[in-house]
Amino acid sequence: MNAAFSRSWKHAVVTGGAGFVGSHLCTALLDSGAAVTCVDDFTTGRPENISGLRDRPGFELVRASVCEPFTVDRPPDLVLHFASPASPADYLRLPLHTMETGSLGTRNALALAHESGARFLLASTSEVYGDPQQHPQNERYRGNVNPVGPRSVYDEAKRFGEALTTAQADAHGTDTGIVRLFNTYGPRMRGHDGRAVPTFISQALAGEPLTVTGDGHQTRSLCYVDDTVRGILAAAAHGLRGPVNIGNPTEITMLDLARLVVELTGSTSEVRFIERPTDDPAVRCPDITLARDKLEWEPRVSAEEGLLRTIDWFRAHTD
Is residue 141 among the annotated active site residues? no
Residue type, 18: A
The three-state (H, E, C) secondary structure of 118-134, written as one string: CEEEEEEEHHHHECCCC
Torsion on CA atoms 172, 176, 178, 184, rounded to nearest 10? -140
The beta-strand segments (E) located in the chain are: 11-15, 35-40, 59-63, 78-81, 119-125, 176-181, 184-185, 210-213, 219-221, 223-224, 243-246, 251-253, 271-274
Name every residue whose Cβ is closer than 8 Å to that of residue 17 and which is 6 or more positions away in sequence: 23, 25, 26, 36, 37, 38, 39, 40, 45, 50, 61, 82
187 cis-preceded (ω within 30 degrees of 0): no
Name every residue whose Cβ is closer than 8 Å to that of residue 293 and which is 6 or more positions away in sequence: none
Contact 125, 244 (CB under 8 A): no
Q: What is the C-alpha end-to-end distance of the chain, expressed in Å? A: 40
Burial annotation 251-275 (CB, 10 A radius, 16+ → b, else e): bbbbbebbbebbebbebebebeeee
In whole angstroms, what is the distance from residue 229 CA to residue 225 CA? 6
- Catalytic annotation, pick one of 91, 129, 141, 154: 154
Contact 288, 250 (CB under 8 A): no
In whole angstroms, what is the distance from residue 297 CA to residue 113 CA? 25
Q: Can you spell out the DSSP letters for 143-160?
A: -B--TTSTTHHHHHHHHH
Which residues are known to be catalytic?
Answer: 154
